[in-house]
Amino acid sequence: MKNAKEIIQWGGKRYHSLNHHLRGKFGQKVFKIPLDAGLSCPNRDGTLATGGCAFCSLRGSGDFAGDRSKNLEEQFAQVKTIMHRKWSQGKYIAYYQAFTNTYAPVERLRYLYNLAIQQPGVVGMAIATRPDCLPEEVMDLLEEINKKTFLWVELGLQTIHEPTSQAMNMHYNFSDFQKALNKLRARNIETCTHMILGLPGESIEDMKQTGRTIAHMDIQGLKIHLLHLMKGTPLEAKYNENPFAFLEPGEYVELVIDLLEILPPQVVIHRLTGDSPRDLLIGPTWSLNKWEVLNQIDHRLMERDTWQGKYV
Ligand code: SF4
């Protein structure tokens, strides 16, 4: 049995949640304000390809981010108001989520990052990007921002398996991820890695292998996504041509727990399932009930008498 003191240290959860981590760091509720900086992605604008990653939504995987047609201050105010319906009090992490948020001339990025951290109530910043979009001048800028505020960089990995990354039209691979991670860590910048469970063509063992590999790397945070098949994505066309099976809810829950068990306890868990707009989701539809999935994970962690880091 996990020692009771450690469970209490994670606010009663059997994994090290972002919510708990931020409360500990800032002494109050802190939540992310997802923003759309109006940038693009080299995998969409023709630099690498035009289609984007097969699973990426039309809004550049920022479906809950602010409205791209509005300026940053307006987006910030609008998203903040929506978030405060859920939590009346709190401070904010400005979160550049949609598209590739290091893909612009460095002066433009400097302006965007500084503008975000100057918004009232912001205590930190998160920047989502792809591993192949971190040139030296951007790394210098991130280092500068890291000295001004609490920062983490979200790096999409999704899978370590090259055939999958090719099939998903990602145009980067595990080696690109390793290089980007090393560069960020050399500058003492925290990272949060994204992985997707349920990518077509991957076995449960393939997904575990990605998890095991990540668990041995110098990451500070992890987002586990369930693959969501969304309308308007290249993956929808692939699925229509050649339907693939979605993970079943029980299968997903057990897999997430297997991954938690091998992750070091200090790695912060930013997400344990996906989120996508109801009207865009094709499947798996069971994922719409996000709270049920999270409750099942908590329930099975107890039943299995296990926790994050049990087998580290
Ligand atoms: S790198 Fe990110 S923004 Fe670009 S296509 Fe892939 S998922 Fe979408």
Q: Residue 287: what pLDDT? A: 95
100 pocket-lining for ligand 1 (C-beta < 6 Å): yes
Q: How far is ligand 1, taken at its centre, from the CA of residue 230, in Å?
A: 14
Q: What is 4-303's CATH superfamily?
A: Aldolase class I (3.20.20.70)
Nearest protein Cα to ligand 1, atom 4: 41
Q: Residue 1: its pLDDT value, please?
A: 52
Residue 281 pLDDT exceeds 80 = yes
Residue identifier of the C-alpha nearest atom 3 of ligand 1:
99
User: Does the pLDDT value for residue 301 go beyond 60?
Assistant: yes
* % residues pLDDT > 90 (the chain): 89
Q: DSSP of 94-156, one letter per residue? A: EEE-SS-TT-S-HHHHHHHHHHHHTSTTEEEEEEEE-TT---HHHHHHHHHHHHHSEEEEEEE
Q: From the CB of 41, is ligand 1 less than 6 Å away?
A: yes
128 CA → ligand 1 middle, Å: 10
Position 304 pLDDT exceeds 80? yes
Instruction: Calculate the alpha carbon distances from 111 to 17, 37, 115, 118, 241 in Å.
Output: 31, 11, 6, 11, 44
The reply to whether ligand 1 has any atom less than 6 angstroms from the CB of 101 is no
CA of 52 relative to ligand 1 center, distance in Å: 6
For residue 180, the CA-to-ligand 1 centroid distance in Å is: 16
251/11 Cα distance (integer angstroms) = 26
Residues 274-283, mean pLDDT to the nearest whole number? 89
pTM of the model: 0.96
> Ligand 1 pocket, 102 CB below 6 A?
no
Residue nearest atom 2 of ligand 1, based on CA coordinates: 99
pLDDT score at 3? 65
Task: Specify the residue with its C-alpha closest to ligand 1, atom 7.
Answer: 56
Asked if residue 60 has its Cβ within 6 Å of ligand 1, the reply is: yes
What is the pLDDT, as a whole number, of residue 266? Answer: 96
Phi-psi map region of 47: left, alpha, beta (phi>0 left; psi -120 to 50 alpha)? alpha
Instruction: For residues 119-139, give the mean pLDDT.
Output: 97
Distance CA 226, CA 296 (A): 15
- The answer, yes or no, to whether any atom of ligand 1 lies below 6 A from the CB of 129, is no
How far does residue 46's CA lie from ligand 1's centre (Å)?
Answer: 13
Q: What is the pLDDT of residues 104-121, one digit of tens each?
A: 999 999 999 999 999 999
Closest residue CA from atom 1 of ligand 1: 130
Evaluate if residue 291 carries a pLDDT over 90: yes
Give tens-digit pLDDT for 237-275: 999 999 999 999 999 999 999 999 999 999 999 999 877
